[in-house]
A and B are shown apart, each in its own frame.
Chain A
């Protein structure tokens, strides 16, 4: 099982992400439709899958309600962050006032 806090890099673009919440099922975080690789390990570049090129933005979180996975984008890229072949949805930015 992949761990919260684990760091991942895209094989199709410059994107990097941190796993905030693990998925309920087996599988790796994806970018551009391709499994991401652990940061610090060698990984072969790959081609972006069609339709999964919406990009990701630093500081934004991406989530899938259905699978439970949540990623935080820490480096921007061209690929869509995803899981199990589908793109994740961006989490709406909070409008909470600062309280501490």
Chain B
């Protein structure tokens, strides 16, 4: 099963319905299909082995995604926020490739061997004339390549096969299951797995996609209102900024029904504020990875409603990512591979048809198809999954494994702490010592006070030896904390 079928079916069933909407105008399913076919037809005889995309969200994105798939070529959206040097290095890994690029960004890829640039405007003109009688090419099994964010090293090219993505779509939504007035606002950048999965599920679901070029909280609120958006997905940092705008502008989102969040750790104060500010909205917390075609587990609207009512167990579960979705199996394992019982923390392993667990040149799954996520977590007795952070971020202090997430959660509850990051730093005596970087809420609290705060709530070995105060912490634009930046900063003194 290949992803172009999703669009083909929708284009046949509801050709005139709007597929893509936004400031650049509307595109019907039939028009999207015709343009994707025209793009694919133009690739006949091209030496390209990949189709890249360097740009913001625009109607050209789904044209390029489906067009590449119709031509049998893997599609790779690139991160335009990377520094030139890194961007060019990643682009070179795609050669020979054709890269669709925003006019303003095209120069950044000039002169790379094996890379041909197609400006986004040119793609649009090129696909105005339908390619009558076009026959899809069944080429590569790989539909999408996504470079991981590389927060802990050189980005890896995660590959998602047509099988992984179509399985995910079939498990997640029904064909044309959306009401005709439904619209999903997509504001994550094209190189985020959620941008790809949102396009695929919405097309199959018959839900109009409203594209936001790039995330800006005011523009997001404006688009949500102007295009009568009913559904949206945000990463935690985005949600916090949207709430600020809603509060400052005293704005409401009358058509919004459902808001999903994921892609990073959601601070409890932010989600509790969201539940208060948006009382009629159904919230969903989704946990997933690039390597798993997006969502693996969900904390759904019922759980959020229960938390709204202040019920204690539900408030605790607000810190979880809910339960695995159908078609996905999740196990917690210790370093020796033993499956752990509820309550015991370990590495999260997942298996399912949507799970690729594969990079260019390396398969990370075991023989039975289980993928080690490098995330740490545990199940509670009712099967709710709690995430403790990345395995690579674990601090080993005097032989004890310490998860920074746990310490961060406790410090964030201190009234004088607005945000905090905890990392391990090399230490002569302990192997590693615990260092915290905090953003103060108002007056900067005494180091000893925060150390005591952790000591009494966790235990003394988990209290940070050093606490530095900063005006802000380094996050990437999709809300991932850049611990490596803090480690580098510390190492540089």
Contacts and interface: CB of A to CB of B under 8 A. Distances in A.
B5 A5 contact: yes
B233 A99 contact: yes
A94 B174 contact: yes
A50 interface: no
Interface string B417-440: 000000000000000000000000
Contact of A100 (B170, B171, B201): B201
A48 B1 CA distance: 29
B262 interface: yes
Main secondary structure of the interface of A (DSSP, over half): loop
B183 to A, nearest CB: 11
Contacts, number: 71
Contacts of B197: 100
A99 B298 CA distance: 8
Contacts of A98: 173, 184, 201, 231, 233, 258, 260, 284
23 contacts: A4-B1, A5-B2, A18-B5, A58-B13, A58-B176, A59-B174, A59-B177, A61-B170, A74-B12, A93-B174, A93-B177, A94-B173, A96-B298, A96-B325, A97-B282, A98-B184, A98-B258, A99-B233, A99-B294, A99-B298, A100-B194, A100-B286, A100-B294
Nearest to A95: B300
B162 to A, nearest CB: 9
B258 A97 contact: yes
Contacts of A34: none
Interface in A18-71: 18, 20, 58-61
A18 B194 CA distance: 26
Contacts of A74: 9, 12-13, 175
Residue of B5, B262, B325 contacting most chain A CB atoms (<10 Å): B5
Interface string B171-189: 1111111000000100000
Contacts of B288: 99
A99 B284 contact: yes
A72 interface: yes
Given A58-B13, A97-B260, A5 B1 contact: yes
Contacts of B326: 94, 96
Given A5-B1, A74-B12, A99 B174 contact: no
A80 B282 CA distance: 37
Nearest to A4: B1
B37 interface: no
Contact of B262 (A5, A94, A96, A99): A99
A59 B286 CA distance: 25
B301 interface: yes
B407 interface: no
Contacts of B258: 97-98
Given A4-B1, A93-B177, A99 B13 contact: no
Interface residues of A, number: 17
Nearest to B12: A74
Interface of A: 4-5, 18, 20, 58-61, 72, 74, 93-94, 96-100
A100 B233 contact: yes
Main secondary structure of the interface of B (DSSP, over half): mixed
Contacts of A97: 258, 260, 282, 284, 298, 300-301
A10 to B, nearest CB: 16
Residue of B170, B194, B233 contacting most chain A CB atoms (<10 Å): B170
A97 to B, nearest CB: 4
Interface of B: 1-2, 5, 9, 12-13, 170-177, 184, 194, 197-198, 201, 231, 233, 258, 260, 262, 282, 284, 286, 288, 294-295, 298, 300-301, 325-326
A59 B171 CA distance: 13
A100 B295 contact: yes
B477 to A, nearest CB: 17
Contacts of A5: 1-2, 5
Nearest to B262: A99
Contacts of A72: 9, 175
A91 to B, nearest CB: 9
A74 B174 CA distance: 12
A18 B12 CA distance: 13
Contacts of A59: 174-177
Contacts of B1: 4-5, 20
Nearest to A99: B286
A94 B298 CA distance: 14
B176 to A, nearest CB: 5
A69 to B, nearest CB: 14
Contacts of B172: 94, 96, 99
A100 B9 contact: no
Contacts of B198: 100
A100 B5 contact: no
A5 B197 CA distance: 19
A18 to B, nearest CB: 7
A5 B298 CA distance: 28
A94 B205 CA distance: 12
Q: List 3 tightest A-B contacts by C-beta distance, closest first.
A: A99-B286, A59-B175, A4-B1
A86 to B, nearest CB: 23
A82 to B, nearest CB: 19
